[in-house]
Structure 1
Amino acid sequence: MIEVVDIAPLASVQDLGRAPYLRYGVSYSGVMDRLALLAGNVMLGNADDLAGVEMQAFPCRFRFREATDFAVTGAGCTVTLDDAPVLPWWAGRAEAGQVLTIAAPRRGARAYLAVAGGIDVPVILNSRSTQFRGAFGGHEGRWLQAGDVLPVGTTEGTLAAPGFGAQPPDAALPADFAPDDLQPNTTAVRVLTAGEYELFTEESQQRFWATGWKISGQSNRAGFRLLGQPLDFAKRLEMRSHGIVPGIVQVPPSGEPIIQMSDAHTAGGYPKIATVIEPDLWRLAQAPLGSRLRFVPVAYKDALVAVRQAEAWVASLRRLSGQYRSLCATGRRP
């Protein structure tokens, strides 16, 4: 069991989401940064789809009611176990009664707590993720609050101190595609042009690529609203609602783009100008409110290369953490 001692707003139980139910009008849900939760589960020897805690505001404090292996990934937060510092992207062991504190990040926006065995809330529609619109899944279908007690699944074996660390994806998968004129506090993400791209004026197309779009304070898990000089259509356009997925960049009548995120509706009628490729959604998730985004065009074949690079990073982490746990099990800890 894990007790929530103190929690900032907007923390929730999430796993990798319920994508198969998009066709039935159930939003994707799930973590915003899939690589961060995947890494935490891999380091602990968990199944990939076990649930953890996603945090978007800080500080957050958790008391372990029993000895538990844990990992903190995602944003570069200051983390302590009682008074002892915990390295970023590190898996270790907490003894019964110890308190884990996750403070505001020095970089990034969202942190993740994974535990051996996962957060063991009920599975609804093949997922433990919190679905806020329907108020189901996760912990009672809501944000976490102080006093909540989260059950932990059973597991065999332990990591044994001193634990195991991972190289964060922003170091392992550098943004070497970023434009040369990228400004500080700006995140570059790769996108494929979408169905209605050609319906924007040529000037608006150029502006879409050249603008450092500011992430509005109205952004959330449903969508990132971007601020900048509005985009214009070559002619008036009306569309029927159609299916949308996380990463789609839509342009409402205001002309300022909206990027659909994990809790987005499953259908919408705004024209689509682009789609953030799946391997860069984690970069988007770690972009703080008020920071800026630059869109970088990518060919489909190069987007597939990016998918394989992310998969290779996870596979390498899985292999190394498995070897580490095997050594610990035989008493030959490195």
Structure 2
Amino acid sequence: MIQIMTSGAVNLIQDEGRHGYMHLGVCTGGAMDSLSLRYANALVGNAPDAAGIEIVLFPFKVKFERDTVFACTGGDGRIELDDQVLAPWWRGHAKAGQILTLHRPNRGLRQYLAVSGGIDIAPVLGARATDLKSGFGGLNGRGLKRLDRLPLGQPHGDTIATGSLGCIPKALPGLLRQLHRGCVTVRVIPAAEFSEFTPDSIKQLFTSPWQVTADANRQGYRLQGEHSLSMTERRELLSHGIVPGTVQVPPAGQPIIQLAEANTCGGYPKIATVIEADLWRLGQVPSGCALRFEHVDITTAVTALREQTNDLQALNDNLPLMANRRRHAGRPIS
């Protein structure tokens, strides 16, 4: 078990989300920054779809009720185990009774906590992710509260349960630099109504910064720019399927990006879609930060996702080998 000592209504149990239910009106959900959660799970030896905790309100404190291995990833906030300061994106070892404290990131928006064995709650529609919009999954469909106790699953063996080890995605340093400058770039491909927007609107989409407004949550971000986007001919559209990453343009001409708890259908015209390999970046963008859209083709989008997937697979494959090598040599992992 772990016990929540301080928390907030939007700190949630999350995993990789629910897949295959959008035709029933059930959103994918899951971690906003799925890449950070996957790395945290890899560092503690969990399966990629194990449930962890997504933290947005700080400070967040959790007490370990058994000796365990944990990892914290995401934004670069201060991390403390009792009075010891820990490095982010690093595996830690807690004794029963110790308290982990995560502080607000200096850059980024969310942090993720994975514990060896994962958060062991009953899945709903194949996932443990909390769906706040619909009120199910996670812990009774709600955010975590003080004194909540969460059961942990059994660790998968002890092949990486000892030693110190850290690892970050290749793209993380660049993202942190962009967050520091206050403008993050995400790659997009054209969506269904792209060609129906005016040439000037298409130009503005890719050359102008778009600020994330305060109207931003797990469902989507409303953006604000100096210029409005418009179609060559306004027409009514039937509601149609949309996915996380879809960039829609309402009549006012200011874009909306659909995110993890995106609606499964909508009638606003779609000008672009953020590529899957860059969705995790949006999960770290706070209100007030600007976005820039970079136009790429489908080949680039597929290649980027394949490289990201291969990097994660290599991490999962190599961690047990590294641990075995170090253990037999009698040296800690470093």
Q: TM-score, normalised by structure 2?
A: 0.94
Structure 2, unmatched stretches of 5+, are none
**Are 1:240 and 2:241 matched, yes or no?**
no
* Corresponding position of 1:319: 317
* Corresponding position of 2:283: 285
* Corresponding position of 1:294: 292
**Are 1:184 and 2:185 matched, yes or no?**
no
* Corresponding position of 1:170: 171
The verdict on how the C-alpha distance between 1:291 and 1:98 changes in structure 2, with shifts beyond 3 A counting, is same
Matched ranges for 1:1-334 at <5 A: 1-155=1-155, 156-157=157-158, 159=160, 162-171=163-172, 174=174, 184-228=181-225, 229-327=227-325, 330=328, 331-334=330-333
Distance in 1, Cα, partners of 2:66 & 2:180:
46
The answer to whether the Cα contact below 8 Å between 1:92 and 1:159 also exists between their aligned partners in 2 is no
The verdict on how the C-alpha distance between 1:231 and 1:273 changes in structure 2, with shifts beyond 3 A counting, is same
SS at match of 1:164: coil
The offset of 1:170, in angstroms, is: 2.8
Aligned length: 328
Runs of 4+ in structure 1 displaced over 4 angstroms? 158-162, 328-332
SS at match of 1:104: coil
The verdict on how the C-alpha distance between 1:92 and 1:327 changes in structure 2, with shifts beyond 3 A counting, is farther
Q: TM-score, normalised by structure 1?
A: 0.94
Distance in 2, Cα, partners of 1:307 & 1:195:
21
The offset of 1:192, in angstroms, is: 0.2
One-letter amino acid of the structure 2 residue matched with residue 85 of structure 1: V
Distance in 2, Cα, partners of 1:81 & 1:100:
4
The offset of 1:312, in angstroms, is: 2.3
% of aligned pairs identical? 42
Distance in 1, Cα, partners of 2:241 & 2:300:
25
Distance in 2, Cα, partners of 1:326 & 1:41:
19
The verdict on how the C-alpha distance between 1:109 and 1:5 changes in structure 2, with shifts beyond 3 A counting, is same
One-letter amino acid of the structure 2 residue matched with residue 109 of structure 1: L
RMSD: 1.8
Distance in 1, Cα, partners of 2:85 & 2:25:
44
SS at match of 2:131: coil
The offset of 1:315, in angstroms, is: 2.1
One-letter amino acid of the structure 2 residue matched with residue 191 of structure 1: V
Structure 1, unmatched stretches of 5+, are none
The answer to whether the Cα contact below 8 Å between 2:34 and 2:280 also exists between their aligned partners in 1 is yes
